[in-house]
Structure 1
Amino acid sequence: MAEPPDWRLQTTERALNRLERQGFAWEFLRRNPDYRRDYDRLRGASSPDGSPAPHWGVRFPDRSRPLCS
């Protein structure tokens, strides 16, 4: 998983402030070091329901995209 942009940068802060709840929750989760470690460890592996990390309560129907480039 690529390193997310620094939330303290003004451009990132503005982008985060425009997000709906679901988008903000994703940005919060992807900065969690435990989640990132699990994601990297389980990438490519999947559970029967198609979720790479079912205990996080998320599913990935499409590839994630960065908030800003």
Structure 2
Amino acid sequence: MPTNRPWDAAPLRRAFSGLDPAGLAQEWLRRNPAYLNDYAVTMTTGKADAETWRAFARRWGVRFPCRP
């Protein structure tokens, strides 16, 4: 019978081994229910202006790409 070892992070290390710190942060955020909820609320407020997005970015410590 195999031993269930939830602390064995080898599969996670393999899955995320090719990511840089920004990529790892992105993977964490896209699985975070609080982030997803905050994003959905921000999108549905109807006033997703620049200041709204700046506040969102400050809350989550993210940077959005600049538009040319």
Where on the TM-score scale, by shorter chain, does this alignment land: which range?
A: 0.5 to 0.7
The 4+ residue runs of structure 1 with deviation greater than 6 A are: none
User: Which structure is higher in RCO with an 8 Å CA cutoff and minimum separation 6?
Assistant: 1
SS of the counterpart of 1:51?
A: helix
Note the alpha carbon deviations across 1:31-65, whole angstroms, 9 max, x for none: 11000000111126144284361311112227xxx
For structure 2, list consecutive stretches of 5 or more residues without a partner in the other structure. Answer: 1-10
Paired with 2:53 and 2:26, the residues of 1 have a C-alpha distance of: 18
Structure with greater helix share of residues: 2
Paired with 1:48 and 1:28, the residues of 2 have a C-alpha distance of: 24
Q: RMSD over aligned Cα, in angstroms?
A: 2.9
Count of aligned pairs between the two proteins: 51
Task: Decide which structure has the larger Cα Rg and report it.
Answer: 2
CA contact (8 A) 1:46 1:52 kept: no
TM-score (norm 2): 0.54
TM-score (norm 1): 0.53
